[in-house]
Amino acid sequence: MSLAEGSRMKPKPPLVPLGTLIGRELRNEEVEKPMVKYGQAALAKKGEDYFLIKPDCQRIPGNPSTSFLVFAIFDGHNGISAAIFAKENLLTNVLSAIPQGIGREDWLQALPRALVAGFVKTDIEFQQKGETSGTTVTFVVIDGWTVTVASVGDSRCILDTQGGVVSLLTVDHRLEENEEERQRVTASGGEVGRLNVFGGNEVGPLRCWPGGLCLSRSIGDTDVGEFIVPIPHVKQVKLSNAGGRLIIASDGIWDALSSDMAAQSCRGLPAELAAKLVVKEALRSRGLKDDTTCLVVDIIPYAHPVLPPTTRNKQNLLSSLIFGKKSQNFMNKTTNKLSAVGVVEELFEEGSAMLAERYVIISCF
């Protein structure tokens, strides 16, 4: 038999129906999406912390394949009105700023700008109510392996990934710790200083005057100068398929625990138990001196429904001992280290207080 005849007699591979191929593709896409598990825990001191968990959002209503999740913390001050208003209205305002009928990639690209627009619109609408309370906001959107975080104030979001690498996804807008914000406030006409008591002694953290607020960014605070802005710091990252854990918490946690300590305290535990343990650890460290709220969100492959425990990195331990729980130097080191190990791809980061003007957002309302 010739080679040509042998080739002609070779059996053809079986035909696979188109429906089967499509089904396989859909199943593969489903497997590629992460499993998201979450837990929440809180202890109240003043009753001004609020949180939002929306696990069933859809980019296209009625289409489960376009699902995404939202997690947020609102730490109110001078009352609860601003925190409640932001909880009830911010998500709607963000989504209304995204063009309708666009695909997922375009939607994700539009999301950072929409978050800025949503924060600004929510602030304007609340100011129209004539109330004077304010709130921090840390707002997290999870779509597949992509995480987008927008924040004003000092309610922090951290990312803990395999290898014990901890990264900040937010920037604290406390005047005491953020020199860039202090410069912005003074350049805008505000004054930064501590509270004066009898005898001219200065006490407490740095505040901006008039108003005496410790934060430089918030939603609300209509009785404070225009230098207090609602423009969020926005960061968007894409995780590798190894996944990671988000810890989103109010300052009742972060005043007691460093980012590394919070992550280390609950590694290897399910999200629900992890959130409770972080709150318990903060209470043990500092006592209940403020409202303390924690959300733990695990973004993990379906093949590994629980994040594996991670041996604490010795360098991280040494850094936390040297720099302490509030050191910006330590936070920068952890952030840079995360990028270096390649477990996450940074897609977007912007924190300028001029974002609204750059996007011509304010004039749209």
DSSP letters for 106-126: HHHHHHHHHHHHHHHHHHHHH
Q: 């509030």: which residue's tokens?
A: 326
Identify the residue with better confidence: 16 or 22. 16
Structure tokens at 297: 């969100």
5 domain-assigned: no
- pLDDT band, residue 298 (cuts 50/70/90): very high
- pLDDT band, residue 308 (cuts 50/70/90): low
Identify the residue with better confidence: 86 or 31. 86
- pLDDT band, residue 259 (cuts 50/70/90): very high
pTM check: above 0.95: no
pLDDT for res 317 = 36
3-class secondary-structure state, position 104: helix
Please report how the helices 314-323 and 328-341 are oriented relative to each other, as an axis angle in degrees rounded to 10: 160
Question: What is the overall mean pLDDT for the chain?
Answer: 83
pLDDT in tens, 179-202: 999 999 999 888 888 887 777 676
Question: Going by C-beta distance under 8 Å and a sequence separation of 6 or more, which residues neighbour residue 305?
Answer: 35, 37
The CA–CA distances, whole Å, from 254 to 79, 249, 279, 296, 326 equal 21, 7, 10, 14, 8
12 domain-assigned: no
CA distance 96 to 175: 32
pLDDT for res 304 = 67
Class of residue 185 by CB neighbours under 10 A (exposed 0-12, middle 13-18, buried 19+): buried
pLDDT for res 333 = 39
19 domain-assigned: no
Q: What is the mean pLDDT of residues 10-15?
A: 55
Say yes or no to pLDDT of 340 above 60: no
Number of domains in the chain: 1
Structural contact between residues 325 and 306, judged by C-beta atoms closer than 8 angstroms: no
Identify the residue with better confidence: 359 or 282. 282
Identify the H or E element spanning 202.
strand 202-209
25 domain-assigned: no
Say yes or no to pLDDT of 307 above 90: no
354 domain-assigned: yes
Please name which of 236, 229, 235 lies closest in space to residue 356, comparing C-alpha atoms: 229
Say yes or no to pLDDT of 143 above 80: yes
Q: What residues pair up with 195 in beta bridges, in sequence order? A: 203
State the CATH number of the domain containing residue 358.
Answer: 3.60.40.10
Say yes or no to pLDDT of 348 above 90: no
Residue 93 belongs to domain spanning: 35-364
Q: 């006592």: which residue's tokens?
A: 287
pLDDT for res 318 = 33
